[in-house]
Chain A
Amino acid sequence: MVRLIPCGLLVAVSALAMASMFGQDFGDHSSQTLTAKAWQSHERGDLADTLAFTAKCRELYAAEAAKQQQSLTDFLPADKGHDPWALNHVGTCCFIEGQALERASRKADAVAAYRRLVDDYGYAQCWDTRGWFWQPAKAAQDRLDELEFDAAVAE
């Protein structure tokens, strides 16, 4: 039975269990706060914290993010880029999760995170403080293609 549980779910469950054990500070529980904390955790190389924050963001906001994704047919222009806030934050969290898992050499789990982002949150955008939006799903697709190429290298 255990084998039937998707990898991503195991990651989420284990992250939540760790979060509960170590008592992460989710702040105001907003998607913005959770995403910011996920970035910070990833930057200091803390996989458990990173996964805890990304999982919490998805737990609380995935439904809204899915609705916002459904309402779009393309990326919104910059002046409206922040409007689908849940989509942007959940999508960004999927990307952070993929990066953190790659860094931990958990390639299969990273692929699952990137795949979820590409399939479910394709119109997410993330604001770069240098002054523009970037598209996490495009970056995730690059990572998927690089990982696929790397698998061919390894053959």
Chain B
Amino acid sequence: MNHLGRQSSAAGPVGGWLLIVALLFQVGSALALEVRVTGDRESGFQLMRDGKPFQIMGVGGTVSLDTLAACGGNAIRTWDAASAERIEHGKSLLDTAHEHGIAVVVGLWLGHERHGFDYGDPAQLAKQRREMEAAVTRLAGHPAILAWGLGNEMEGPGGPGDSPAIWREVESLACRIKELDPDHPVMPIVANVNPAKLAAIQEHAPSIDILGVNAYADAARIGAKLRAAKWEKPYCITEFGVAGPWESPHTDWNAPLEPSSRTKAGQTYVAWQRIMEDRTHCLGSFAFLWGSKQEATASWFGILLPSGEKTPRADALTRAWTGHWPADRAPVLEEVDVPFVGRHVKPGKQFEVLVRYRDPEAAPLHYRWEVREESSDRREGGDAERPPGEVPGAVVAAGSAGHAIVTAPQRPGGYRLFVTVLDGNGSGSTDNWPFYVDTQH
């Protein structure tokens, strides 16, 4: 029984309206698929959805759900409730997901102290709570919902993350969600784990059902860290993928070296394998990011290109989830000859570059080159970054077989040469190479 259902017994005109609202809600609730966590720490855990075992093979993101379903994915997560309700082509994201057989962890955004949110301010907490209650009440009955993703790294991406104020509020919110919607688990989502953070969660937020952990280079070690801290509940890796810019080698001008599209596919595949080796306690994972975003570069985390094509990382996930490659695979990087990678070059110096990609289905490939400034808007914790501008005229000529002639820009500073390769069938790859224009060179 949900909270509104209990109110439906109220008498009088107000009670009548409440009854109608409650009945409508009950209709919605009847559609909801019950999700439960069974098991215990000793024997292991199992996520049950509508009475059947459900292993999360998910991604973070809200776009191209038809492609995701074709790749074998079965779940997405959002970072806020508004994304789950957004209407596109006349349908909400939840409806579209349900049509494709995709379950949704609906994010309920919680404030971050680094953005000015104060967990000691009753007024801010009350507003946040009202918004969360309204979202849960609106959405709880939807059959696509898998769980509530409570916050995202609200304890902060750095530091111990053990603030009692934050975790007590998480506990209060988790209890309230369970009152409003007893049919779906509550999963706060944190940035990696450490003993102090885990101890604070166990002490102050004992009502949560699942711990969601965002982890990149460390993703395979989360299970061991949780066991070492005697963590008692199941967990889910809510973001994983390739090593982040903060974990990667840098040039001498502090530009992170992005792994190649081919390397990132391998890293994604092996990370998934490692995560799922702990399948008795890990309920599944969400690869980051089904879509694209500017974070250090425009391509670092995107599993899709900005124009929507799937990349080799999507193919790697398909192989991980289904055991075989998709019917159409993305172009594979075979050879690179970019003479200025990681080097200082003179303004105006001209270079011939060559990259060779192979399309597994032998489709003709279309190459698009561009030089962009190195990002000067680097932020923490995945906060939105401003994409750097393209340098007009830097690509002097581009051939059809992966050749191009590039001129170093006149203005000193860091730059990257990007190539994007499309097969015309919905797949593509992109790679980039940093260089530095230096008049002293």
What CA separation (Å) do A153 and B265 show in the bound complex?
9
The residues of A that contact B270 with a CB separation of less than 8 Å are 142, 145-146, 149
Complexed CA–CA distance, A152 and B360 (Å): 11
Chain A residues near B316 (CB, 8 Å)? 149
Q: In the bound complex, do residue A153 and residue B267 qualify as a contact, i.e. CB atoms below 8 Å apart?
A: no
Q: Does A4 contact B (CB under 8 A)?
A: no
Give the total number of A-B pairs whose CB atoms are below 8 A apart: 28
- Are A145 and B273 CB-contacts (below 8 A) given A153-B312, A154-B332? yes
* A147 neighbours in B (Cβ, 8 Å): 266
Query: Known contacts A142-B270, A142-B274; is A149 also within 8 Å of B265 by CB?
Result: yes
A150 at the binding interface (Cβ < 8 Å): yes
Q: Is B240 an interface residue (CB 8 A)?
A: no
**Residues 114 to 155 of chain A near chain B (Cβ within 8 Å):** 138, 142, 145-147, 149-150, 152-154
Q: In the assembly, what is the distance between CA of A98 and CA of B220, in Å?
A: 21
Q: How far is the CB of B316 from chain A (nearest CB, A)?
A: 7
Q: How far is the CB of B311 from chain A (nearest CB, A)?
A: 13
Could you say which of A138, A147, A152, A153 has the most chain B C-beta atoms within 10 Å of its C-beta? A153
Is A149 touching B332 in the complex (CB atoms < 8 A)? no
B262 at the interface (CB under 8 A from A): yes
A154 to B267, CA, bound (A): 15
Contacts of A153 in B (CB 8 A): 262, 265-266, 312, 332
Q: Is B415 an interface residue (CB 8 A)?
A: no
> What's the minimum C-beta distance from B404 to chain A, rounded to whole angstroms?
23
In the docked arrangement, what's the CA distance between A150 and B316, Å?
10
Q: Which residues of A contact B273 (CB under 8 A)?
A: 145
* A154 CA / B269 CA spacing, docked (Å): 15
Would B267 and A150 count as touching, CB distance under 8 A? no
A133 to B: closest C-beta gap in Å: 11
Cβ distance A126 to chain B, nearest Cβ, rounded Å: 14
B-side contacts of A138, CB under 8 Å: 220
Q: Which residues of the other chain, B, contact A150 by a CB distance below 8 angstroms?
A: 262, 266
Chain B nearest CB from A44 CB (Å) reads: 13
Q: Which residues in A have their C-beta under 8 angstroms from that of B269?
A: 145-146, 149
CA distance A146 to B270 in the complex (A): 6
Q: For residue A128, give the distance in angstroms from its CB to the closest CB of chain B.
A: 12
- Closest B residue, CB atoms, query A154: B332
Closest to B325 in A: A152
Across the interface, which residues of B come within 8 angstroms of A152, CB to CB? 319
Q: Which residue of A lies closest to B271 (CB)?
A: A142
Q: Binary interface profile of B, 263-288, with partner A (CB < 8 Å = 1, else 0)?
A: 10111011001100000000000000
Instruction: For the complex formed, measure the closest distance between the CB of B234 and the CB atoms of chain A, giving whole angstroms.
Output: 23
Contacts of B312 in A (CB 8 A): 153
Report the Cα distance A142→B269, complex, angstroms: 10
Tell me, in angstroms, the Cα distance from A145 to B274 when the chains sit together.
Answer: 10
Interchain CA distance A150-B312 in the complex, whole Å = 11
How far is B220's CA from A145's CA once the two chains are assembled, in angstroms? Answer: 13
- Residue-wise, chain B 303-318 has the 8 Å CB interface mask toward A (1 for contact) of 0000000001000100
Q: Once bound together, how far apart are the Cα atoms of A17 and B247, in whole Å?
A: 36
Indicate with 1 or 0, residue by residue over B18-36, a CB within 8 angstroms of chain A CB atoms. 0000000000000000000
A103 to B269, alpha carbons, bound, how many Å?
Answer: 21
Closest to A135 in B: B221
B255-266 Cβ-contact flags toward A at 8 Å (1 or 0): 000000011011
Contacts of B274 in A (CB 8 A): 142
Q: How far is the CB of B321 from chain A (nearest CB, A)?
A: 14
Whole-angstrom distance from the CB of A99 to the nearest CB of chain B?
Answer: 12
Most central of B270, B312, B316, B332 by chain A CB within 10 Å: B270
Q: Which of B269, B274, B312, B319 has the most CB of A within 10 A?
A: B269
Tell me which of B220, B266, B319, B332 contacts A146 (CB under 8 A): B266
Residue of A145, A146, A147, A150 with most partner-chain B CB within 10 A: A146
- The residue of chain A having its C-beta at the shortest distance from the C-beta of B316 within the complex is A149
Nearest neighbor of B267 in chain A, beta-carbon distance: A146
Q: Which residue of B lies closest to A77 (CB)?
A: B228
CB distance from B32 to the nearest CB of A (A): 39
Within 8 A of B (CB), among A71-107: none
Residues in B whose Cβ lies below 8 Å from that of A142 = 220, 270, 274
Tell me the smallest distance from the CB of A148 to a CB of chain B, in Å: 9
28 contacts between A and B (CB under 8 A): A138-B220, A142-B220, A142-B270, A142-B274, A145-B269, A145-B270, A145-B273, A146-B263, A146-B266, A146-B267, A146-B269, A146-B270, A147-B266, A149-B265, A149-B266, A149-B269, A149-B270, A149-B316, A149-B319, A150-B262, A150-B266, A152-B319, A153-B262, A153-B265, A153-B266, A153-B312, A153-B332, A154-B332
In order of increasing CB-CB distance, the 7 nearest A-B pairs are: A146-B266, A145-B270, A149-B266, A149-B269, A146-B270, A150-B266, A142-B270
- Partner-A contacts on B (CB < 8 A): 220, 262-263, 265-267, 269-270, 273-274, 312, 316, 319, 332
Given contacts A142-B220, A146-B269, A152-B319, 13 further A-B contacts (CB under 8 A): A138-B220, A145-B270, A145-B273, A146-B263, A146-B266, A149-B270, A149-B319, A150-B262, A153-B262, A153-B266, A153-B312, A153-B332, A154-B332
